[in-house]
Amino acid sequence: MGRIVDLFGEVAAEAEVGPGGIEISPEAHQRLRSEWEEEDLEDALKLVHETLIQGELVEAADSLSARLVEVLGELGGPAAYQKAKAGGAVLSLEVVGQLARRVAHLEEVLDVYRDEEGPDRRAFESLRRRLADLGIEEHMGETHAELDAAADGDN
């Protein structure tokens, strides 16, 4: 068991994310190949990949959960709760954008694990495009305002 853990550690130290997934350099592969069977190296690469994906899954779920706890916690006070109960709870576009980014990252990681097709994301992706466009439009508006102010200062 100790030798396998050593192999896993060496592969993890050498691994890089490439277009084909987790890869090690040809030099590292040759060096490890002198001590290990090709099948063992492939298994170690798969295990490193699974470990990285699981880490991303936990990170994405933690990020989303932490933000949801904050957002929902804001509804915990008596006045906020009564407002929500009456249908008056409101999320700002900033909060919607933060949640959308976290959900998108979580969905990306979950796609690796799903055996079946994930949820229909067309409406969600439409929202993300609108939020991205809003950010661009706001930035462009700031840029135009800065240019206008600079032009006014030149006169």
Domain-by-domain residue ranges, the chain? 2-88
Phi, psi of 76 (to 5 degrees): -80, -20
Residue 148 has pLDDT above 80, yes or no: no
> Max CA-CA distance within the chain?
78
pLDDT band at 143 (very low <50, low <70, confident <90, very high): low
Report yes or no on whether pTM surpasses 0.75.
no
Segment 47-81, tens digit of pLDDT: 999 998 899 999 999 999 999 999 999 999 999 99
Q: Is 149 left (phi over 0), alpha (psi -120 to 50) or beta?
A: alpha
| Mean pLDDT, residues 4-18 | 87
Please name which of 133, 110, 137, 113 lies closest in space to residue 121, comparing C-alpha atoms.
110
C-alpha span between 153 and 155 (Å, rounded)? 6
Please name which of 47, 54, 50, 53 lies closest in space to residue 9, comparing C-alpha atoms.
47
